[in-house]
Amino acid sequence: MKILIVGAGGVGRVATHKVAQMNDVFDEVLLASRTKSKCDGIAEDVRENFGVTINTEAVDADEVGEMVSLIRDFEPEIVLNLALPYQDLPIMDACLETGVHYVDTANYEPRDTPKFEYHWQWAYRERFEQAGIMALLGSGFDPGVTNVFCAHAARNHFDEIDCIDILDCNAGDHGLPFATNFNPEINIREITQPGRWWNETNWEEVEPMSVHESFSFPEGIGEREIYLLYHEEMESLSKYLDLKKIRFWMTFSDSYLTHLRVLENIGMTSIEPVHFKGHPIAPLEFLKAVLPDPASLGERTKGKTCIGCLVHGRKDGKEKQYYIYNICDHEEAFAETGAQAVSYTTGVPAAIGARMIATGEWLKPGVWNMEQFDPAPFLEELQNRGLPWTEVDFDFTPKPQTNSTFVGDRN
């Protein structure tokens, strides 16, 4: 099969390395991005590391016509979209026009309103079905692997689920005062939103970063402060899995939050354009231009990420708690692909998602989220392609009632 990868950032770099190692299914790869020199740099590294040739092209994926021409020239079976969330709809339109499968890692966002909602992409369902092609949405780590972890827990470990807490910890250190681990614009739009979580029948909303507590992460990472955020996978998981509550938590250091607060207070995280020397400039876009490029952090980042799901419910009439997680080492990820663990944990599942379609294990016309498929083949690939996972069952000991939001007692 031929695959077209769009986006030559950190995630595109990792996915290209992984796809190059899947030559049992992908025999031709084209990497295209706005800046062709970035594609060439990645192609050169892949050639050195694996002796595999990657074709490269420049494309502006905001332009449906350009995408359609590129697809018609190269004739791929799958397009793996690793550009930014703004490009999701134009690339889906191009896939519809050319009859090619589509995979991404982040849901569509309009540039002028940071909204993390699937409805724009779910609206393509019938058209994809009619065209006999498939779109797999959110095949990164979170969303992505977290959805698969939840589906696996629901299928194999629980009869009833009361609550899922998705816990995302980056215990890495790049030694810089302030930098984001992936695209700064997308990252800051995400974490400055109100926190939201699903509570039985409705979304509860809290001020950004106002709910937090500590959680003890496994395998030497230890106690970290986790903050309640809204994250897109909760929308599909609360719809497609039978569960009462779902929440998402992410770790942040005090220094990161102090920098963020100052930037917010002085208006630098706003997406409303201001006029500067006769030009409209969105402060957040300018901030992105002065912050370190996340791709440059790889070389200097040490430590680990730990992302997983803590599930609380019942099996065979007994209350239980279950934790499934992956640990990824920044330095090992860099040694293999030239990118740190945040890009690695996204790029590997992106490549596996494309592989699931290519092998036919997850092939069904329409628009789908990850938890709608059998988790087993995906989890097996994950174990073997650099993201091994661990699952642990805990005897549940009820905690005394406190004012804190209950995340879990892993004794």
Give the CA angle between residues 144, 148, 408 to the nearest 5°.
100
Distance CA 283, CA 13 (A): 28
Q: How far is the CB of 83 from ligand NDP (least distance, A)?
A: 4
Q: Is 318 exposed, middle or buried (0-12, 13-18, 19+ CB in 10 A)?
A: exposed
Cα-Cα-Cα-Cα dihedral sign, residues 60, 65, 69, 71:
positive
* Residue from the set 23, 35, 53, 390 that interacts with ligand NDP by CB under 6 A: 35
Closest CA to 14 of 181, 185, 174, 252: 181
Q: Which of residues 64 and 129 has its CB atom nearest to ligand NDP in the complex?
A: 64
Residue whose Cβ sits closest to ligand NDP: 9
Q: Is the dihedral angle over the CA atoms 226, 381, 365, 239 positive or is it negative?
A: negative
d(Cα 40, Cα 136) in Å, to the nearest integer? 27
CB 203 to ligand NDP: min, Å: 20
∠ CA 229-136-13, nearest 5°, is 75
Smallest gap from residue 336 Cβ to ligand NDP (A): 16
d(CA 300, CA 328): 15
**Per-residue x/- track, 81-110, ligand NDP (CB under 6 A):** -xxxx-x-----------------xx----
Of 116, 118, 124, 182, the one binding ligand NDP (CB under 6 A) is 182
| Residue 346 is a binding residue for ligand NDP (CB under 6 A) | yes
Stretch that binds ligand NDP, among 134-142, 157-165, 256-264, 403-411 (CB under 6 A): 134-142
Q: Is the peptide bond before 388 cis (omega within 30 degrees of 0)?
A: no
- Binding mask 4-33 vs ligand NDP (x if CB under 6 A, - otherwise)? --xxxxxxx--------------------x
Helix (H, G, I), strand (E, B) or coil at 181: coil
Backbone angles phi, psi at 225, to 5 degrees: -85, 130
Of these, 19, 142, 306, 309, which contacts ligand NDP (CB under 6 A)?
Answer: 142
- Give the one residue of 5, 20, 143, 249 binding ligand NDP; rule: CB under 6 A: 143
Contacts 24+ apart (CB under 8 A), 42-45: 42/8, 42/12, 42/13, 42/16, 42/17, 43/16, 45/13, 45/17, 45/338
Q: CB 157 → ligand NDP: shortest distance, Å?
A: 23
Residue in 119, 112, 111, 74 with CA at minimum distance from that of residue 94:
74
Closest separation between CB of residue 285 and ligand NDP, Å? 12
Size of residue set near ligand NDP by CB under 6 A? 35
- Say which residue the tokens 């969303």 belong to: 143
Which range, of 179-187, 243-251, 258-266, 271-279, touches ligand NDP by CB under 6 A?
Answer: 179-187
Q: Which helix (H) or strand (E) holds 308?
A: strand 304-315
Site string for ligand NDP, 42-71 (x = CB under 6 A): -----------------xxxx---------
For residues 357 and 341, what is the distance between their CA atoms, to the nearest angstrom? 25
Report, in Å, the least distance between residue 404 CB and ligand NDP: 27
Q: Does 381 bind ligand NDP (CB under 6 A)?
A: no
Identify the burial level of 356 via C-beta atoms within 10 angstroms of its C-beta, where 0-12 means exposed, 13-18 middle and 19 or more buried.
Answer: buried
Q: Which is nearer to ligand NDP, 172 or 294 (CB)?
A: 294
* Binding pattern for the stretch 306-345 against ligand NDP, x by CB under 6 A and - elsewhere: -------------------------------------x--
Q: How many other C-beta atoms lie within 10 A of the C-beta of residue 168? A: 21
Q: Could you say whether residue 144 binds ligand NDP (CB under 6 A)?
A: yes
* Span near ligand NDP by CB under 6 A; candidates 3-11, 45-53, 252-260, 267-275: 3-11
Closer of 106 and 191 to ligand NDP (Cβ): 106
Where does this chain bind ligand NDP (CB under 6 A)?
6-12, 33-35, 38, 59-62, 82-85, 87, 105-106, 138, 140-144, 182-183, 186, 294-295, 343, 346
